Amino acid sequence: MAAKQVLLTKDGLKRLQDELENLKTVRRQENKEAIKRARSFGDLSENSEYDEAKEEQAAIEQRITEIEAMLVNVKIIDDDTVDNSTVSVGSTVSIKDVETGDVDVYAIVGSTESNPEEGKISDECPVGKALLSKRVGDIVPVEIPDGVINYEILSIER
């Protein structure tokens, strides 16, 4: 089975590469010191510091593996090729809740970069998926657990 393509902006790629570098150079070394320090406490069978350090080591190594796998399958979203006539990954979209009049602005990004608190939503989440390929002025129904919300697309930028 082919690995899933990972869509990233240039900034998202840089953040992922920086995180990988930090994990490999800083966090691994800090963890190595924590394991060494915990070993110095003696009996490892009842050494909670050692257990915690080994668990952290496993988490660090797992994240390194995840990032390396993502980087192998990365596709960069080039801002210059994002078409502003329809919503696509890389677009920044202003939408209005038709019922309440509330306006939100979201950047549509790949799932790896998704961070709703920063206004970045995934192309795989219900709102992001519903907006894809739509145009300014379109009314887009989005299914949520409580029913359906209708959004009007006010603008599309890159």
Q: Using one digit for the tens of pLDDT, what is the confidence trace for 70-114?
A: 899 888 877 666 667 899 888 999 999 999 999 999 999 988 889
In this model, does residue 1 exceed pLDDT 70? no
**Of 20 and 76, more confident:** 20
Average pLDDT, the chain: 89
- Distances 76 to 13, 53, 68, 134 between C-alpha atoms, Å: 8, 35, 15, 22
Q: What is the pLDDT of residue 111?
A: 86
Would you state the pLDDT for residue 112? 87
Widest distance between CA atoms in the chain:
68
The Cα 70–Cα 67 span in angstroms is 5
- pLDDT confidence tier of residue 127, bands split at 50, 70 and 90: very high
Beta strand 120-122 with 103-109 is parallel
Domains of the chain, CATH where assigned: 6-76 (1.10.287.180), 79-157 (3.10.50.30)
pLDDT of residue 89: 87
Query: Strand, coil or helix: what is 148?
Result: strand
pLDDT at 60: 95
